[in-house]
Structure formats: C-alpha cells, structure tokens
Amino acid sequence: MDGESGSVLGDSYDAEQLSMMDEMCILVDEQDNAIGSASKVDCHLGSGKLHRAFSLLLFDSKDRLLIQKRAASKITFPSVWANSCCSHPLDVKGENEPEDGMGAKRAAIRKLQQELGVDPESVPIENFEFITRMLYKARADQNWIEHELDHILFIRADVEVTPNPNEIDEFRWVSMDELEDLVSRSPANGEVIAPWFQQIKHLFLDDWWGNFDDMSPFRDGKIHSVGDVTVREDSLLLNALENHRIEVEPRIRAALSKTNHERLQAAMLHLIDGGGKRLRAILPRLVAEATGRADEGLYDLGAAIEIIHNFTLVHDDIMDNDEVRRGRPAVHIAFDHPTAINAGDAMLAVSFEVLSESPHISAEHFRELVLIIGQMVRNVSEGQQMDMDFEKQESVSESDYLTMISGKTAAMFTTTARTGALLSGASAETIQCLAEWGENVGLCFQLMDDLIDATGDSDTLGKPACSDVIEGKKTLIAIHAHGQDETLLPTFRRVFGCGDHATSRDTLDSVLAELEAVGSIAYAKNKAMEHHALAHRCLDSLPESKAVSVLRELTDWQLIRIA
C-alpha cells in the first residue's frame, strides 16, 4: 500500500479485513470495458476508481430472499443490511471473463463460501443468471467510497448457511412483504439498508418477485446508471431526493418502455439512462408535503413532467446543434435526427398517458393538470423560439432574456410547484405563492447554469467549458458584457460566437478574467441572488416544518452549485 493508503488504514481496522485490501479489482469504463486493475484499497479510497462488482440475489424454493447484515468489522458500510452477497470479481484468471457475467459468477461462488459458508456444489455455476448491470456511486464516510459497475446475478437454490462472523453479523430469509417492511421502516427501526441494495430493490427486485420461473424477460443487457446514491444524514434535501427518486424512477422507466419498438424505446430512455437526481420529478411531492397532503399520484405527476423535460432536451439538442448531454452523446448523435425527433414526440404523448392512467388523480384534477401542463409545454416552446430568435438579433435586452428563460427553464419549476400544491389540497392563495416560488427558483437555476458554463471546466460540465460564449449565446453575462467598453474585452469579443470548441483553456481563462474584470460575472450572480431572496420570501408565508425546510434547502442549493 502507498503512504496515503497506509496512513488512512493505520491499525484501526480489523486485521482480516485489511488483509483483503490488496486484492486486485478490475477497473472498467462506463461501458464495462476492462481498462486495467487496481488494489481494493485504491478502488475505494478517497474519490475511488470505477471497478467491476457483483450483487447476488439468492432465493430459496419458497421464494424467500437471503439477506445479510454486514459485520461491524467491515471497512466500508459496516453493520448495514445488504443483498445475499456482494463483492468484486478479481483480476485473476476466470474472474476477469466478462462474457455472460462468467467472471462475476465465479466470484460469487467464491464469496458465498468465504462469507456464508455455502458449499460450492449447492450453487453450480450453470444455475446463475446474469440479469442486468447498475452503475452507481455511494460514499461510506470521508475516506471510503463505492464506485462500481455492478453485475446483478440471480440464483434459486436451497443452501445451508454458516456465516463467517468476520464478514456477517446476521442473516435472514425474507419474503417480499418482510423485505418491504424492513426497508420502509428503515432507519427508524434501527436498521440501515445499503444504498446499492435499496436501488436494486426499487429498480428491479419488486418487479422480479413472482417471476422466478422465467427471468429471461428481465435480462436487458443494459447498464442502468443511477448516479450518486449516498445517503447524507446532514442534508434533509439530499435524503428527500434519494428517498423519492427510488419511488419515481420505476414509473418513468415503465412509461418510457411502453413501446415495443426496440430502437425507439432505447432512444426514449437514452437521457434517462444518463442518470440525474430527477429534481423536476420529485418537486411536486416535496411541495405537496410542505403545503398539505401527499399521495402516490404526485409520483405519477412528477414522472410525467420529468418525461416532458427530457422530451424538450432531446429536441433542444437538435435545434441547438449540441452533441453532448449529461456527459454522453445527445440522442440525435447516439441514434439519428429522425429517431430523436420521433422519440421526443413519443415521450410527450407518454407523459399524458401516465397522468390519465394514474388511479390516484381524480378526473377533476386531471382536467386542471392537462391545462396547466399544456400551457407549460407551450411556454417552453415559446422560450425556445425566443432563444433561437436571439441568434439572429444584433442585441437582446435583459428583460427579453429573463422573459425567455422564464418560459424555457422556469416554466417547469413553476408548474411542478403549482401542480404539487394543487394536488395537496392547498388554498388558491398558497398555490399561487408556491407557483411564484417555483418561478424564482427556476430563474435562479438558469442564471446559475449560465455562471457554471462560464466558470466551470469541461470535465466537470460534461461539455466544453464556455460553450455559451463560443456559440454566441446571449446570456445575461454576455448581454452585460456587450454593454461595456469593448476595449476591455478583446478576447471575449474575438471568441464570442466563433464556434470553435477547440479553443484553448488559456484563451478561455482570458475570457473569464475579462468578464470578471468588467463585472459581468458579478452582475449575473447578483441577479441570481435577487431571485433567490424572492423565493425565500414566498416560503416565509408557510408554517415552518421539516418539509418547508427541504424547500428552503433546495432554494439555497441553487446558489452553492458553483461554490
């Protein structure tokens, strides 16, 4: 181990667990291609390294799932409940074979014996099924992290379990209802569920249970990217986003999988597979919890709005000639222009299907939702058209720019807040108050995005830095800059609208320095702060509660995205 690893490990960890930290894991890219190997400690320390892993779901003949409570001696995620067995195939002969998950299957047999004392003869390799894959990240503490491309395996077998106390504190065989009860009452029941197991349960397992005689329909060959699933005890917002995301995500995916056309379905799911917190999908629920009652219909509403949001992104990328979205090829690049347009159209249609099929939304509310969401789509389209019109205009006023982003970006926040309050049974006054909150949060969000584009770096953004300047976008930053003495902005004037995304970092740093010197960056940030303050003022009219605190944290989160 190197000096950093040694200093972190020290003598504070279990000796047997430490002995396994030198095992060599398989490093992979996000497409699951092996790109090298690194020790277990290096894969999990600090920011971690993406590596291959496996999660096994072992059921007995009574359709009960074997779950385990990781030992308190474990270095990462001690004393949490997890699936039957989870670990890593190693960079050794047999376990580094990717085809049909053979390497992961061999590793699972090895770890079943080492952790649970399961006789390898009772789990023959031909009985394992490689179902799907999940890409996730989860931080255990300030030192340790999981960053894994998880091969999810299934097997049905009656086995004798003799747990290794250094690996496992407890194990149980649970039915579907018993697992649901355990998870739904966590952590208030004193039991903590491993974040990756929560994802597996909500994304896959709830659909699998009862279909164990034929698992072939679930073998999708996909890599499901779920992003950072860390449960943060110090953040009401992030915990709320995670708890609600695992409820709304399956609804989104089920809706976008309605079509039987394989290529169209893949195009519709392409941006969803890129991950994300699903903020717009969760907002109706967060608002409802702060303003009245909340039920399952808010997840259906959120899923519909999230699908519409992604539909607009698919079409926006075509109109704006953007090739990258969320760090991966845009839909029209990954597929083609006609397929992307068709996928976007289908997504819009599916969103209204979700609303109409929800058993939790009344006919009266459905009519109101269709009107409000229809107006939102029109407002977004008008905002997008204004944005395109700006490209042909010599100059754009600040008021025109704010009107444009009010439609293109803020309209969705306004709608999620308005409809969430509506379904909660809130008064007309409260509904209007929350709509104004959503409008100001949305404006702040877009102004922050403009600042992030100008001040961020390409690796963090997932797209070229300063792309708005390069493409000649008339953001508030650019509008302010064009009103300044042009002799103070020679590099900005030269780069603005040049279209060259290969512009050097040094040149872009000069652009940023000039924008800061003339006050354009500060001006845009101050405008964002104005809308931030207005959003908080809207929340001041609500009785303080934990749910309102979540909305306040969300309002503040818009500002710290560039901290």
The rounded distance, in Å, linking the Cα atoms of 379 and 418 is 15
Strand residues in 128-239 grouped as ranges (E): 129-139, 145-156, 168-174, 223-228
Q: Contact 133/150 with Cβ under 8 angstroms?
A: yes
Which of 366-388 are b and which e, b meaning 16 or more Cβ less than 10 Å from the residue's Cβ?
eeebeeebeebbebbebbbebbe
C-alpha distances out from residue 190 to 72, 186, 195, 344, 420, Å: 14, 7, 15, 45, 32
Length of the chain: 563
Two structure tokens written together for 425: 């049974």
Catalytic option among 95, 115, 146, 148? 148
* Phi and psi torsions of 260, nearest 5°: -90, -5
Sign for the CA dihedral angle at 336, 339, 342, 348 comes to negative
Nearest to 294 by CA among 360, 386, 197: 360
Hunting for tokens 């490990």 — which residue is that? Answer: 9
Question: Is 444 annotated in the active site?
Answer: no
Residue 202 near residue 247, CB atoms below 8 Å:
yes
Cα–Cα distance for residue pair 49/35, rounded to 1 Å: 11
Contact 51, 149 (CB under 8 A): yes
Listed in sequence order, the residues at least 6 apart from 20 whose beta carbon sits closer than 8 Å to its beta carbon are 40
Interatomic CA distance for residues 514 and 40, integer angstroms: 46
Report the distance separating Cα 450 and Cα 528, nearest Å. 10
Q: Which segments of 298-450 are extended strands (E)?
A: 324-325, 328-329
- Phi-psi category of residue 172: left, alpha or beta, with phi > 0 → left and psi -120 to 50 → alpha: beta
State the Cα–Cα distance between residues 285 and 556, nearest whole angstrom.
19
Catalytic residue among 25, 43, 86, 433: 86
Q: Where are the beta strands (DSSP E) in 102-220?
A: 129-139, 145-156, 168-174
What 3-state class would DSSP assign to 277? coil
Cβ(435)–Cβ(418) below 8 Å: yes
| Secondary-structure percent of the chain, ordered helix, strand, coil, rounded to 5 | 55, 15, 30
Q: Looking at the DSSP assignment, which residues form a beta bridge with residue 155?
A: 58
86 is catalytic: yes
Inter-CA distances, 194 with 79, 97, 197, 554, Å: 9, 27, 5, 25
Just list the catalytic residues.
86, 148
